[in-house]
Structure 1
């Protein structure tokens, strides 16, 4: 009579162990599946921001100096606040950037040559807060070229940023640089 009880107890113990293994496999695979569906955490960028030098023959102009002196320390990008970045040496002249240290930065360059895309027949100009811009879309960003002032400015804005960036910068341009025409 003790032998059947021992077999039943042993069988119950084996079933309990098998059940625990099955439950851990099922829940463990769900957690791994959920973890694989979530994007990896975005690394934080620290330190000065390195930017490539580009030709900017008017970078030392009074207009660029005035504009750079009036740029805000922060810009709104959707729900994110971008802070003005420290640029790595040698920093390009008449350049500023803003970042949240997680996404690609917004970069402003003043004193550039006239963009080839800006012609008298250009029909792609957009007015933002009274400022004419020529947007050129790229795969990951749009570069906005200032079209109606005495100096050419380019603002490269990542695709992930909202429209607040160009609106904020347009307000500064409008109050700082006189219209060319």
Structure 2
């Protein structure tokens, strides 16, 4: 006669644990895949940017910034730019159609004159130009002018993170505003 506790009542314990681990891993993989996909949402289209004169986009200072750009700025992910992509430009999007756009090697902004208000963000001096609900910030204390266009509601993270990169990549120079108007 055998004891009821010594008979095998099902698969071995090791097989059950292995099956449970495989099941949990499969569910985790499915959830990770689902988190990166948004059903019904088409793949992100490349962003179209208008050509803007950037006579210094090929300068070493622009290359230093562009080569160090992150894949993510706050909630914004690096985006592809439609061809022909303007030289010295980069963009990030949050999938809402609004993009953060950086351009390097521009001419001095026409409105940047003696007496213009400047804001310092993480050791970089910025001059703001407003167009409707969008703001374009120009880094005005570097060897090249950089413009950062922010959509409404983007918050401070993009300009803070790019200020850190610009400050580490390009030496500061005295500001060069135009004559007062």
- TM normalised by structure 2 equals 0.71
Partner residue, 1:65: 63
**Equivalences for 1:1-181 in 2 at 5 Å?**
46-76=44-74, 81-122=75-116, 124-181=117-174
Give the whole-Å Cα distance in 2 for the aligned partners of 1:44 and 1:165. 25
Give the whole-Å Cα distance in 2 for the aligned partners of 1:71 and 1:62. 15
**For 2:63, what is the secondary structure of its paired residue?**
helix
**For 2:52, what is the secondary structure of its paired residue?**
coil
Tell me by how many angstroms 1:180 deviates.
Answer: 0.6
- May I ask how many residue pairs the two structures share in their alignment? 134
Change in CA separation of 1:44 and 1:137 when aligned onto 2, cut-off 3 Å: farther
* Greater helix share, structure number: 1
**For 1:98, what is the secondary structure of its paired residue?**
strand
Partner residue, 1:13: none
Partner residue, 1:8: none
**For 1:142, what is the secondary structure of its paired residue?**
strand
Change in CA separation of 1:51 and 1:45 when aligned onto 2, cut-off 3 Å: farther
- TM normalised by structure 1 equals 0.71
Give the whole-Å Cα distance in 2 for the aligned partners of 1:69 and 1:177. 12
Give the whole-Å Cα distance in 2 for the aligned partners of 1:143 and 1:45. 27
**For 2:163, what is the secondary structure of its paired residue?**
helix
Tell me by how many angstroms 1:116 deviates.
Answer: 1.1
Change in CA separation of 1:45 and 1:128 when aligned onto 2, cut-off 3 Å: farther
**For 1:111, what is the secondary structure of its paired residue?**
strand
Higher Rg: 1
**For 2:58, what is the secondary structure of its paired residue?**
coil
Tell me by how many angstroms 1:45 deviates.
Answer: 6.7
Give the whole-Å Cα distance in 1 for the aligned partners of 2:139 and 2:118. 9
Structure 1: 5+ residue runs without aligned partners?
Answer: 1-42
Q: Please tell me whether the aligned partners of residues 44 and 102 of structure 1 are also in contact (alpha carbons under 8 angstroms).
A: no
